């Protein structure tokens, strides 16, 4: 079989990353809607637990692969970075617009190459860095972040989501030789254990619900965690998306480097903008179109840079 050209390989990696970012934006919309009925720690816990159940079911029904990993420590770190970025992202979505939260999450595109440079000493072509800068400028134009964005402490917390996301992307590149399904199961398992530890630490308010933590009053006192069946369905949907995000991101790194696919993460902001407009009536303005154009230019530059 004829090997792929470098540009074709980067393009395929970009497609998988874009699909992963679409799933991220859709999850963000579901979380924003469901936040009236779930606490952040509970929502994060259920997302990982249901995601693990779905991943194990897919594994059991499909072609089974070995779950033994030669990079167990890295797999654990990937899972921890994932659950931390998700929890912080969910928390920020409660208090700031979906697009703002997604912007802060996608500073990962800046941090991931930095992790690769500092830890591994990896150098990317100059055009790759130019593409990253252009893409980030596009996101900045879309959101026009001013001092008010950073005056909100939640916005500052949201930046941590981007740092952990960047760390996760870098760590995923270290295990790209392993099947993405294996990495997904490890990440969901580690995330689920971490969430259960957190829930045990804060308490399980079943008999005496802590409404100030849960942020809602249930319709049925015997089911203190849920408002109605639609929110239960939302959690199941989140579990499915959690599997897709990890699989798409892991697969993208089989075709391209961290720096090469980083600009494709900015597509999540475009998807979030569309969801903000279609669901919450936040209409995009002309800076949005200019920003999206810059993102597109950044993607083209990065593909060009892969040929150098």
What pLDDT is attached to residue 232? 67
Q: Count Cβ atoms within 10 A of the Cβ of residue 154 and give its class: 0-12 exposed, 13-18 middle, 19 or more buried.
A: middle
Q: Say if residue 264's pLDDT is above 50.
A: yes
Query: Residues 232-259: what's their mean pLDDT?
Result: 76
- Whole-angstrom Cα distance, residue 21 to residue 38? 23
205 pLDDT above the threshold of 80: no
Q: Which one of 71-85, 102-116, 271-285 scores highest in mean pLDDT?
A: 71-85
* Sequence ranges of the domains in the chain: 6-305
Task: Tell me the percentage of the chain whose pLDDT exceeds 70.
Answer: 76
Residue 283 φ then ψ, to 5°: -80, 140
What's the token pair of residue 39?
């606490």
**pLDDT reported for residue 244:** 83
pLDDT tens-place string over residues 159-195? 788 889 889 989 988 998 888 889 989 999 999 999 9
Is the pLDDT assigned to residue 258 strictly greater than 90? no
The DSSP H or E segment spanning 28 is: helix 6-34
Q: What is the mean pLDDT of residues 139-164?
A: 69
What percentage of the chain has pLDDT greater than the value 90? 11
Query: pLDDT confidence of 213, banded at 50, 70, 90?
Result: very low
Secondary structure of the chain: what % helix, strand, coil (to 5)?
75, 0, 25
Residue 126 has pLDDT above 80, yes or no: yes
The pLDDT value recorded for residue 212 is 46
Average pLDDT over residues 90-110: 80
pTM: 0.75
Is residue 231 over pLDDT 70?
no
Q: What is the pLDDT of residue 211?
A: 44
- Count of beta carbons in the 10 Å neighbourhood of residue 131: 29
């Amino acid at each position: 079989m004829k090997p792929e050209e470098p540009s074709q390989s980067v393009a395929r990696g970009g497609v998988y990353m874009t699909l992963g970012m679409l799933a991220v934006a859709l999850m963000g919309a579901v979380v924003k809607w469901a936040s009236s009925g779930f606490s952040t720690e509970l929502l994060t816990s259920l997302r990982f637990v249901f995601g693990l159940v779905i991943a194990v079911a897919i594994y059991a029904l499909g072609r089974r692969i070995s779950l033994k990993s030669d990079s167990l420590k890295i797999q654990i770190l990937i899972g921890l970075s994932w659950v931390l970025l998700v929890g912080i992202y969910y928390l920020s979505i409660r208090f700031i617009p979906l697009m703002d939260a997604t912007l802060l999450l996608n500073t990962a595109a800046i941090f991931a190459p930095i992790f690769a440079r500092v830890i591994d000493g990896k150098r990317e072509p100059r055009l790759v860095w130019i593409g990253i800068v252009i893409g980030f400028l596009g996101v900045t134009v879309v959101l026009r972040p001013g001092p008010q964005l950073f005056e909100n402490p939640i916005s500052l917390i949201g930046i941590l989501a981007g740092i952990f996301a960047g760390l996760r992307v870098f760590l995923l590149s270290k295990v790209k030789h392993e099947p993405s399904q294996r990495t997904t199961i490890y990440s969901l398992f580690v995330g689920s254990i971490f969430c259960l530890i957190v829930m045990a630490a804060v308490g399980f308010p079943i008999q005496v619900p802590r409404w100030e933590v849960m942020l809602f009053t249930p319709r049925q006192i015997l089911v203190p965690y849920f408002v109605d069946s639609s929110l239960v369905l939302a959690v199941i949907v989140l579990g499915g998306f959690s599997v897709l995000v990890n699989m798409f991101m892991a697969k993208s790194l089989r075709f391209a480097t961290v720096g090469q696919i980083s600009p494709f993460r900015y597509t999540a902001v475009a998807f979030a903008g569309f969801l903000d407009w279609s669901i919450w009536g936040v209409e995009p303005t002309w800076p949005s179109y200019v920003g999206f154009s810059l993102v597109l230019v950044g993607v083209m530059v990065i593909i060009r840079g892969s040929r150098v």
